[in-house]
Amino acid sequence: MKAAEPAGIIVEERSDFIRTKGRQKQQLKCDADSIAGCVSQRACVYCGARVVLNPVTDAIHLVHGPIGCSSYTWDIRGSLSSSADLYRFSFSTDLKEHDVIFGGEKKLARAIDELVQKYPSKLVFVYSTCIVGVIGDDLEAVCKAAAQRHGIEVIPVQSSGFIGNKSAGYRAACDALLRLLRPPEGKGLAKTRSINYLGDFNLAGEVWIIKNYLKEMGVEVNVAFTGDSNYTSLKKAARASLNIVQCAGSMYYLAEKMEELYGIPHMNISFLGLEDTSASLRKIAAAFGDAAIMSKTEELIARETARVKDAIQWYRRKMEGKKAAIYVGGGFKAISLIKQFREIGIDVVMIGTQTGRQEEYDTITDLVDDGTVILDDANPSELEKFMTEKGAHLLVGGVKERPLAYKLGMAFIDHNHDRKHPLSGFVGAVNFAGEVYSTLCSPVWNYI
């Protein structure tokens, strides 16, 4: 094994993906395929696409594949709707051996016809799964014919498993959305003084919290991608004059494309934690260059900060000096979490992401203390090793990391898509602190 830091890396080929701040100067490797033989925590391509598109509330979401793939449904998501609830169904073509041998195109066409008859909708997303990539069903042609038959939009989502990792799924979903946004030919949509909010899936109503802040500032939200969105609202997306991006991992590509196609500039923001929420609201206000918006923004920040300050201080006193490990999907969330843990007196000793980008890892490296382990596309063995070595008391992650933390007798915070309480904005910062406190200081740990 070549000399590598941190010492004792289990799979040698992974050494470039792991760094200890202060001990190694070379940049961390990221945005690459997982190493064969390692159990990546990344979800599949189709799952990445479903994360992004499933919150479109009035669409038929049809999974073209074996029944197992469609078990990824609304039930394991927390995205809320203010109107339609069609997105809560997970439809499947239920491909069987016969379809794999003779092709599943006819079955898919029949499934679309049946669904459109039963559930009137202007929009169908058809997700490709691994086996469809193998047997080569022509999704494009089937969807095009179905769209003509029914006079609605039937959009193929090219998310079969062999085209890459979860990031490729995000991209497939963004490509599907781009097809939907296309303004009618010759009828460019007139720009309005509004923003699109990208990368918020309205988990536990988070989009509504941020929309209320923006409304109070005097900023209109044109459409959120994709939390609580629908066919009609998405169709108007090209009207906005600015795109703000919360989950850059999933939506940066869409923001770039919308700038290229519709001239809509974009900026990264984050509504996780007090510091980033205030900074992001100020950034949005500054983009409008309007004195009234800026002054209302300052009033809102002052009022909301005063409202939550004492609660945050109380939690800080209780948890000061504890150590946290972070393993989340995207880099932007990881960056905000470092600051958010600092607000409640907790140091980050290990941090990693499934799909972080180079510039995000550079920022992470700048923010964390010397000795912090930073890792991309980790496997459970590495997470266990570094959390244990670094003495982490708590892990923040998603559903796949939860059992690992509990098996190690460690507190755990769910920051994934299946949670039922909001973690965004000022109110979310208090919820986060409260949840960290309840797991970290739970008496259950005294019995281990």
Decide: 19 and 365 in contact? Cβ < 8 Å.
yes
- Least CB distance from residue 105 to ligand SF4, whole Å? 18
Tell me whether residue 100 or residue 147 sits nearer to ligand SF4 (CB atom): 100
Between 165 and 277, whose beta carbon lies closer to ligand SF4? 165
For residues 20 and 167, which CB has a smaller minimum distance to ligand SF4 in the complex?
167
Q: How far is CA 177 from CA 19, 52, 77, 254, in A?
A: 36, 9, 20, 8
CB contact at 8 A, 226 and 59 = no
Binding span for ligand SF4 by CB under 6 A among 42-50, 143-151, 404-412, 425-433: 42-50
Contacts of 148 (CB under 8 A, 6+ apart): none
Amino acid at 77: R
Min CB(35)–ligand SF4 separation in Å: 18
Residues 274, 226: contact at Cβ < 8 Å? no
Smallest separation, CB 418 to ligand SF4 (Å) = 16
* Cβ 176 to ligand SF4 shortest distance, Å: 16
Is the Cβ of residue 108 or residue 224 nearer to ligand SF4 in the bound state? 108
Greatest CA span in the chain, whole angstroms?
69
**How far apart, in whole angstroms, are the C-alpha atoms of residue 211 and residue 411?**
32
161 versus 249: smaller Cβ distance to ligand SF4: 161
Q: 253-292 mask for ligand SF4 (x: CB under 6 A)?
A: ----------------------------------------
Least distance between ligand SF4 and beta carbon 161 (Å) = 4
CB of 54 to ligand SF4, least distance (A): 14
Judged by CB, which is closer to ligand SF4: 127, or 271? 127
Q: Does an H or E element contain 19, and which? A: strand 18-20
Q: Which of 130, 145, 147, 294 binds ligand SF4 (CB under 6 A)?
A: 130
Residue numbers 153-212 binding ligand SF4 by CB under 6 A: 161
Residue 93 CB, nearest approach to ligand SF4 (Å): 12
- Our CB check for ligand SF4 shows the closer of 65 and 273 to be 65
Alpha-carbon distances, residue 222 vs 39, 97, 195, 238, 341 (angstroms)? 40, 45, 5, 9, 32
95 binds ligand SF4 (CB under 6 A): no
DSSP state of 22: T
Q: Are 356 and 438 in contact (CB under 8 A)?
A: no
Element (H, E) at 268: strand 266-268
Binding to ligand SF4, residues 218-237 (CB under 6 A): none
Question: b/e string for 68-99 if b means 16 or more Cβ within 10 A?
Answer: ebbebbbeebbbbbeeeebbeebbbbbbeeeb
143 phi, psi to nearest 5 deg: -65, -40
In terms of CB distance, is 38 or 217 closer to ligand SF4?
Answer: 38
Q: Which is nearer to ligand SF4, 7 or 134 (CB)?
A: 134
DSSP one-letter code for 203? B
Closest CA to 250 of 356, 402, 376: 356
Q: What distance in Å separates the CA atoms of residue 207 and residue 222, rounded to the nearest whole number? A: 12
Q: Which of 44, 214, 285, 440 binds ligand SF4 (CB under 6 A)?
A: 44
Give yes or no for residue 69 binding ligand SF4 (CB under 6 A): yes
Cα–Cα dist 180/123, whole Å: 9
Judged by CB under 6 A, which stretch of 30-38, 44-52, 240-248, 347-355 contacts ligand SF4? 44-52
- Give the binding range for ligand SF4 (CB under 6 A) out of 40-48, 90-98, 244-252, 331-339: 40-48
Tell me phi and psi for residue 141, to 5 degrees: -70, -40
**Taking CB under 6 A as the rule, which mask of x and - marks residues 46-65 in contact with ligand SF4?**
xx-----------------x
Contact, 57 vs 85, CB < 8 A? yes
Question: Residue 65 or residue 428: which is nearer to ligand SF4 going by CB?
Answer: 65
Q: Does 129 bind ligand SF4 (CB under 6 A)?
A: yes
Instruction: List interacting residues with ligand SF4 (CB under 6 A).
Output: 44, 46-47, 65, 69, 129-130, 161
